[in-house]
Amino acid sequence: MTDALPPTVLYHCPCTGAMRHSDASNEPVEKRSKHSADTLQSSLPERPPVDSNSALFPLRVSTLENLYYCDDCSSLRCTRCVVEEPAGYHCPNCLFEVNTTSVRSEKNSCARNCFQCPVCTHVLSVVESSEGERPFSLSCTLCCWNSREIGWEFEKATGISAQIERLRAAEDAPREYSALLDYWRTVQRVSAANTATAGAGSAGAFKQRLAVPNTSVVPEYRTVAGSSDTEQARVAELMVLDNADYVSYASDPRRKEPQRIRLHMKLARRCCSCHHILIKPMPKAQATQFKIQLMAANFLPTITLPSRLSLKYPPQSLEGPFAVGRALPVILRFANPLYTEMKVSVATCSPGDVRVDVTSKQFTLPPYAEVWEYDEDEEDDSSSDSDQRSGIVDRHGNRVAIQLSVTPLVSAPNLVVPLYITCSHIDNIDGEKDRSSSAASKSSGRTVTDSFWIYVMLGVAQ
């Protein structure tokens, strides 16, 4: 196995395509709801979907907090099997929100007074001076650079981007006008020469007046402001640049022009199979909340390796070395995040280097309730006898702890225990609001069944 992890529980995402068996995780929700726990238990594949010794193992498993859950597909989704799309654009400096239709016209930049210093990339500020007809300019408070060095002076303190475009047009207009005059004078001379070759009253002369000038004699016109030769020369010069900290701009001051700050965007994420929205942030730039946030930790049971359940249980040590042939007791704790009761089934699929036995393969997780957060010191021993008969080690609130018996068959500093988890619950919002009529709501609710693999990592991190 590659880089080992400390004792933890990792979840497997089925997007990698390794689970090609015909289990219930690839079936529609309506069809899966008809399967019982025994049927799902019998459909357990012969081996885990990912080999723990594979180099791709760290890429195919993740913690529950980093996974999403698609409630349409009833399946886990990782960051590699989601589709990202923009959900809003804003300037990171002034937090101004930009419409999607204006992003292309503004060249993906802020249209306000947000510019970066060409020397130190610090944000420039608009300062006012009492000299000249244009008293405003852009100044850097960090390196003291000022836009007056390149001739940029403004009449107003607002709309700096539009004023810069007018300044550029004013600089390029005289040169462009002279170039156009020279070009059309050349066209006129060529046309006059072609007309003189034919008779004044002939049909050939009339055709020559309407004909397009010969491109071999008169070349195609190229603008002066955006000449491709000039741009190619700039690119060639920057490609052979040795020191990026200094760029000469004595010949062309526009190489040190301030750049408009690029826009940032918020991303929404969709399921790769059904395109259902998993993550949708609020469109406002200042907001950090989400309109939709389907995280796996809010739908699937949280499985952990507690260091100690309570004072009456000794702390468990899950760090090697492990003795070959000696059973190691491992306690797993399941926590229900839903407001409805959840049925859980645990199946083992022992690899060749370890043997796994589960004391309680099927149990029920009570629903989550906020009142239990304030009763952490209270002990509930009402069902201790029945739990001991069923193999449950501890039960408190919405948490249930079971015990595994892990026996190493070969000498190894780390152990990986794969488990196949199947959980089902009644998806009924009315039943969550009205707990007193839970029996009536269960009959009208939709049964949702989820099946996934987990990997219990035991040993010392390398």
Check residue 22 and give its pLDDT.
Answer: 37
pLDDT average, residue stretch 253-270: 83
Number of domains observed in the structure of the chain: 3
- Is the domain of 441 the same as that of 342? yes
Query: What pTM, to 2 d.p., does this model score?
Result: 0.68
Asked if the structure places residue 124 within a domain, the reply is no
Q: Which residue has the higher pLDDT, 87 or 215?
A: 87
- Is the domain of 328 the same as that of 447? yes
- Is the domain of 72 the same as that of 86? yes
| CB crowding 424-433: b at 16 or more within 10 Å, else e | bbbbbeebbe
* CA atoms 375, 377, 381, 383: torsion sign: positive
pLDDT average, residue stretch 244-267: 69
CA gap 413, 323 in Å, rounded:
10
Check residue 190 and give its pLDDT.
Answer: 76
Asked if the structure places residue 52 within a domain, the reply is yes
Name the CA radius of gyration of the chain, rounded: 36
Domain containing 268 equals: 68-117+258-294
- Is the domain of 398 the same as that of 411? yes
Check residue 333 and give its pLDDT.
Answer: 92
Asked if the structure places residue 1 within a domain, the reply is no
Average pLDDT, the chain: 76
Asked if the structure places residue 125 within a domain, the reply is no
CA of residue 449 relative to chain centroid, distance? 27
Asked if the structure places residue 351 within a domain, the reply is yes
- Is the domain of 218 the same as that of 172? yes
- Is the domain of 76 the same as that of 102? yes
- Is the domain of 337 the same as that of 436? yes
CATH code, domain carrying 362: 2.60.40.10
- Is the domain of 432 the same as that of 335? yes
Asked if the structure places residue 420 within a domain, the reply is yes
Lowest mean pLDDT among 12-16, 31-35, 368-372: 31-35
- Is the domain of 282 the same as that of 306? no
- Is the domain of 307 the same as that of 441? yes
**What is the per-residue pLDDT across 53-97, written as a single tens digit (0 to 9) for each?**
888 888 888 899 999 999 888 889 988 889 999 999 999 999 989
pLDDT average, residue stretch 415-433: 77
Q: Where does a domain end: 198, 222, 246?
A: 222
The tokens for 264 are: 């940032």
- Is the domain of 430 the same as that of 366? yes
Asked if the structure places residue 190 within a domain, the reply is yes
Asked if the structure places residue 304 within a domain, the reply is yes
- Is the domain of 42 the same as that of 104? no
